[in-house]
Structure 1
Amino acid sequence: MDIRGLVIYRNLKHQTLFEQMAGFMGMSEEKESTDSFACAGQLIELAAKYGFEGNLWHCFLALCLADNENAYTTACEVKGPAGGTLDLLAKEDFAIFKALFDFDLSSLAPSSLWSLLADYRPALQESRVFNRRIKDRIVELAKALEQASDLEGFQQTMVEFYRGYGAGTFGLNKAFRILEKEAGGLTVIDPIVNVEHIYFKDIVGYELQKHKLIENTEAFVNGKEANNVLLFGDAGTGKSSSVKAVLNEYYSRGLRMIEVYKHQFKDLSDVLEQIKDRNYKFIIYMDDLSFEDYELEYKYLKAILEGGLGKRPDNVLIYATSNRRHLIREKFSDKRELDDDLHNNDTVQEKLSLAARFGVTIYYGSPDKRQFQSIVKALAKRHQLDIPEEELLLEANKWELSHGGLSGRTASQFITHLLGCDFT
């Protein structure tokens, strides 16, 4: 077996180390120039970076297979076996990978070093690249591939992994941001490693709002028609938390989220081009969206939402949050300007047309006193705060008077304050 026979799994993320290790094992022409200590050092660095444990060589190979986007992996993601010639070509590649898996790491020199790496115990720190769940999936994949008795079982294990979790960057991560592209290059879609774990059950109240959001998202994830969504209303009422909950609730069903800021709207077409043919559902998330009179970026957004010649991909929706119902700043002085406008209705429609392109609008209003207290009590119970209710509500009232008024955010900050004071 020789890794030069790979057809589909080429240009791996850690291609140089892959070739060096294969050469050290006699499966590549890199053998003469390979430094076993340098290879071991790189595997250890990757283990610290990704949080791997057990057989580091197997974890490395599993990472190479899971993190590679190619014609086969993208065909298998979410939907299962690719079928046709792709399956046959992938099987040939998997034969090479299985040979690499079956190699006895402890047979390498020096054997004492490689025996340690074949049964590696990690440091206490967490992965710096993946969250714990993703790291565990890579480690579990490595163990499953190690235990595959034949080539068919090896390939079936990979197909099940791609169908369950996807492939490459979009498969291993749930949330992304876009980075400024270099001249002439594509916009970079960069993973966000640490996503806040908020679920709908964590958001106290706002049941009607959550229901509307869930209903629209369910339709989208199930491949039915769904609308772009605008969540608007008072500050600190759970708009952003609700969108984060959407991501966490539906990630396992193939939903991914890309955060975009208004100065990046000009890159949206490039982003859509990169994600339109993937077997995931993508939500473009715009937090705290609003525009001043002099800001014209909203024109890019209008074209993406509806109205441009290009059709928005079926696997993409836009969810935005804002404190403004119509997104664009409106002033009393606008009335005087309209009186001097020959076609004042056209001017009004220009300002309203952006918000009108969101098919679902959901209002989040500030809670009243009783609702605020209910939120405080629910959060205190969740965090097991041992403090009498009367004292809890008295302190909560004092806190909200000097910390932003009645809102879910104020209640959460108050509970955080109590936790910091060891009221447990």
Structure 2
Amino acid sequence: MEKIVAKLLIYGDLPEDSILMELSRVSRDLHSNNYSKEDLISRCFKQVKRLLELATECAFDNNLWQSYLTYLLIMDENPFSLTCEKVGSREGSVNHFATSDFHAFRELFNYDFSEIENTLEIDCFSCITNYKAIEKPELMYNKNVSEKVGFLAGNLRKADSDEAFFKGVTEFYKKIGVGAFGLNKAFRLREQSDGKIEFVPINNMDRVVLDDLVGYEIQKQKLIANTRAFVEGKKANNVLLFGDSGTGKSTSIKAIVNEFYGDGLRMIEIYKYQFRQLSQLISQIKNRNYKFIIYMDDLSFEEDESDYKFLKAVIEGGVETKPDNILIYATSNRRHLIRETWNDRRDVEQDGDIHRSDTMEEKLSLANRFGVTIGYYKPSRQEYYTIVKELADRSGIDITNEELCLEADRWELNHGGVSGRTAQQFINHLLGK
């Protein structure tokens, strides 16, 4: 194995502590004839355990070794894989080196572990190459990762030549992508010790769709139209969803990501304290072959907060133009995002119907940079009943409309008033009885 791994060039920069590199060193030490049998067995078991942990996290099945190698190919963001993601495979000298690497991976795909097993008297590798996973709920793993790794591993298993292997991998890069962005739909930011940021996948994102949100048809259509234009490469605007709490603003954003995920849409959730990292975030995603929504939930600022100025510069007004593959979607209970007081009007100059106020203009300028603003307001009493009835029907609750509405009224009196969220909480209450 160590001789095969040594041939890797484009994909040769693997972490020294990766499973593949650790096992290649086990093979090297085994062939040196100067080793401790117990030590090599312990090292093998340690890597097999790591492989089982990854398989559990990603729901790998059948041949875990091949699934792992496929996962390495998908996650390796190198100049070749990133270029294939952007434009597909092209004629060029780099293909010679890539084909050589894929030949090595084909050898690894079909690697015979019998020498290691026979010498060390273990059978763990035979087990993981014919593995049956325990059935488990989808919430325990990332289904997107499981399906895509399984799909590519199946194709590569059938590849009968280096050229077929090359075609399978590069077509996957072009169609699906490479790295975490290729396998996941939503991310959060995490700052590393050196100040750089990393994208952490959100594995348990709600699988809500827009049809799950009862009512608000006009609002949903505006959001769909803007997002569809965005993923199709047309001009689109940043979006601000504002209005009363519990009306479905955040749910609409999640549903939009779920709906357009197959079209290359990805979401990155960011919090106010991370606004200073916006420029770094954008620089890392601006050249990727995806459309990104930078999502800011419950966005608002108090008078003494100034972080909104970082956001203003990014949206519009900075020296560097915001890339075409990035939009900002925000939700807020405040129409103008920044808290306003009557003191803001002290410097107003009246001239007919026109006012000039530096303070007010400063505060309004952020909200005005969202090209699409969509209002979500509390439903009327009758609309509330409609939402409750629809949710009850979907949940299979067998109760008369009269009794349902009466109980819904009693519930909302003690639970924040009429809203879609209150209606869902009421239905959850009934289901829990």
Which shows bigger deviation, 65-74 or 18-27?
A: 18-27
Is the CA contact (8 Å cut-off) linking 2:56 and 2:141 kept in structure 1? no
Displacement after TM superposition at 1:360 (Å): 0.6
Instruction: Decide which of 292, 296, 311 is 2:321's aligned counterpart.
Output: 311
1:171 corresponds to 2:182:
yes
Matched with 2:352 is none
SS in 1 for 2:301: coil
Which shows bigger deviation, 226-235 or 35-44?
A: 35-44
Q: Distance in 1 between matches of 2:242 and 2:378?
A: 11
2:213 maps to a residue whose letter is I
Q: Distance in 1 between matches of 2:397 and 2:432?
A: 11
2:173 maps to a residue whose letter is Y
Q: Distance in 1 between matches of 2:139 and 2:376?
A: 35
Is the CA contact (8 Å cut-off) linking 1:3 and 1:27 kept in structure 2? no
1:41 corresponds to 2:49:
yes
Displacement after TM superposition at 1:88 (Å): 2.9
Instruction: Decide which of 326, 334, 341 is 1:324's aligned counterpart.
Output: 334
Matched with 2:419 is 407
Specify whether residues 29 and 72 from structure 1 end up closer, same or farther in structure 2 by C-alpha distance, changes over 3 A only: farther
1:382 maps to a residue whose letter is R
Instruction: Decide which of 264, 274, 284 is 2:274's aligned counterpart.
Output: 264
Displacement after TM superposition at 1:344 (Å): 5.1
Instruction: Decide which of 311, 331, 343 is 1:301's aligned counterpart.
Output: 311
Displacement after TM superposition at 1:295 (Å): 0.5
Q: Distance in 2 between matches of 1:27 and 1:248?
A: 48
For 1:252-401, what aligned pairs fall within 5 Å after superposition? 252-336=262-346, 338=348, 345-401=357-413
Q: Distance in 2 between matches of 1:78 and 1:416?
A: 45
2:183 maps to a residue whose letter is L
Specify whether residues 14 and 379 from structure 1 end up closer, same or farther in structure 2 by C-alpha distance, changes over 3 A only: farther
1:8 maps to a residue whose letter is I
Specify whether residues 86 and 331 from structure 1 end up closer, same or farther in structure 2 by C-alpha distance, changes over 3 A only: same
Q: Which runs of 5+ in 1 are unaligned?
A: none
2:71 maps to a residue whose letter is L
Displacement after TM superposition at 1:83 (Å): 4.0
Q: Distance in 2 between matches of 1:30 and 1:334?
A: 78
Displacement after TM superposition at 1:204 (Å): 0.9
Specify whether residues 349 and 39 from structure 1 end up closer, same or farther in structure 2 by C-alpha distance, changes over 3 A only: closer
Displacement after TM superposition at 1:387 (Å): 2.1
1:160 corresponds to 2:171:
yes
TM-score, normalised to structure 2's length?
0.89
Instruction: Decide which of 67, 81, 92 is 2:75's aligned counterpart.
Output: 67
Specify whether residues 128 and 66 from structure 1 end up closer, same or farther in structure 2 by C-alpha distance, changes over 3 A only: farther
Which shows bigger deviation, 143-152 or 90-99?
A: 143-152
Specify whether residues 16 and 260 from structure 1 end up closer, same or farther in structure 2 by C-alpha distance, changes over 3 A only: closer
For 1:215-234, what aligned pairs fall within 5 Å after superposition? 215-234=225-244
Instruction: Decide which of 152, 165, 170 is 1:141's aligned counterpart.
Output: 152
Is the CA contact (8 Å cut-off) linking 1:231 and 1:362 kept in structure 2? yes
Is the CA contact (8 Å cut-off) linking 1:22 and 1:100 kept in structure 2? no
Q: Distance in 2 between matches of 1:207 and 1:381?
A: 19
Displacement after TM superposition at 1:40 (Å): 2.6
For 1:24-173, what aligned pairs fall within 5 Å after superposition? 35-77=43-85, 79-105=87-113, 108-109=116-117, 110=121, 112-125=123-136, 130-173=141-184
Is the CA contact (8 Å cut-off) linking 1:258 and 1:282 kept in structure 2? yes
1:17 corresponds to 2:19:
yes
Q: Distance in 2 between matches of 1:378 and 1:231?
A: 24
Which shows bigger deviation, 46-55 or 32-41?
A: 32-41
Q: Distance in 2 between matches of 1:404 and 1:30?
A: 72
Q: Distance in 2 between matches of 1:379 and 1:75?
A: 47
TM-score, normalised to structure 1's length?
0.91
RMSD: 2.5
